[in-house]
Amino acid sequence: MTVRSRTGYALDRTVKKGIPLARETRERVLRTARDLVHGASLAEVGIEEICAEAGVHRGSLYHFFPSKDALGLAVLDANWDLMRAMLDEAFQAAVEPLDRIDRFIQGFGRMLGLMRQKMGTTPGCPLGGLTAELSAQPGPGRDRAQAVLEEWAGYFSGAVHEAQVRGQVSRSVDPHAAALRILAFVQGMALLAKVYDRPDRVVATRETIRALIAAD
């Protein structure tokens, strides 16, 4: 893969570290930060560490992100983009509503397995750990964390509601409450997967999800 640039020093860096073309710096920083934070936590990852790994100078990072907190929020959003992509792939209209949830959970488990191979250890949920960290005090971090979880739950509650319309789930079930049960279960399973270093622990069976929906 060849990279073009008229920037002398940029080209030099390119040869050594790869692709710090002007407008890509922000994305490089964000992606690097996302990966490092996923493997540890925001508090454990230093600005300098991110810069070194991304092949970028401190000043450049602070040109795009006013503070570490702001970077943390951006990482949360980036992780949510990732998760939403997985959700969109699983939640296709052609698939039966409840099967969409199963498909997502399968995909989520596969992702953790891949991360384990890549990083040598099983990370937790990219959103779970970060939302917890950002929610330690009230403020924009917690607000954003709530919004993200709410959006995530929306995927589940939508599927449950659609299943009700199709007569596959009792009308007495509150779709949003059911969605929160599923979300909680997925988060908890991700935690166990991390602690036990066994990604297959995440893969909840169809039966468990069905039971969780019906349990009102």
* Residues found near DNA in the complex (CB under 7 A): 5-10, 13, 20-23, 25, 45-49, 56-60, 62-64, 66-69
Considering beta carbons, is residue 45 or 178 the nearer one to DNA?
45
Considering beta carbons, is residue 34 or 161 the nearer one to DNA?
34
Which option in DNA, its own copies, none does residue 62 bind, with CB closer than 5 to 8 A by kind?
A: DNA
Q: What is the C-alpha to C-alpha distance for residues 191 and 73, in angstroms, rounded to an integer?
A: 22
Q: Is the dihedral of CA 128, 134, 139, 144 positive or negative?
A: negative
Which option in DNA, its own copies, none does residue 180 bind, with CB closer than 5 to 8 A by kind?
A: its own copies
Q: Determine contact, residues 174/216, Cβ cutoff 8 Å.
A: yes
Min separation Cβ 214 and its own copies, Å: 6
Q: In which residue are the tokens 């990279």 written?
A: 3
Q: In which residue are the tokens 């990072």 written?
A: 61
Cβ neighbours, 10 Å, residue 99: 16
Longest distance between any two alpha carbons in the chain, whole Å? 67
Alpha helices per DSSP H over 55-127: 58-64, 68-90, 97-119
Which option in its own copies, DNA, none does residue 66 bind, with CB closer than 5 to 8 A by kind?
A: DNA
Which option in DNA, its own copies, none does residue 112 bind, with CB closer than 5 to 8 A by kind?
A: none
Could you list the residues that contact its own copies (CB under 8 A)? 39-41, 43-44, 121, 124, 128-129, 131-133, 135-138, 142, 145-146, 149, 180-181, 183-189, 191-192, 194-197, 201, 205, 207-208, 210-212, 214-216
Considering beta carbons, is residue 65 or 156 the nearer one to DNA?
65
Cα Rg of the chain (Å, integer): 20
Considering beta carbons, is residue 8 or 138 the nearer one to DNA?
8
Q: Determine contact, residues 86/108, Cβ cutoff 8 Å.
A: yes
**Distance (Å) of CA 47 to CA 38, 51, 67, 140:** 15, 6, 10, 21
Min separation Cβ 44 and DNA, Å: 8
Min separation Cβ 23 and its own copies, Å: 33
Which option in its own copies, DNA, none does residue 186 bind, with CB closer than 5 to 8 A by kind?
A: its own copies
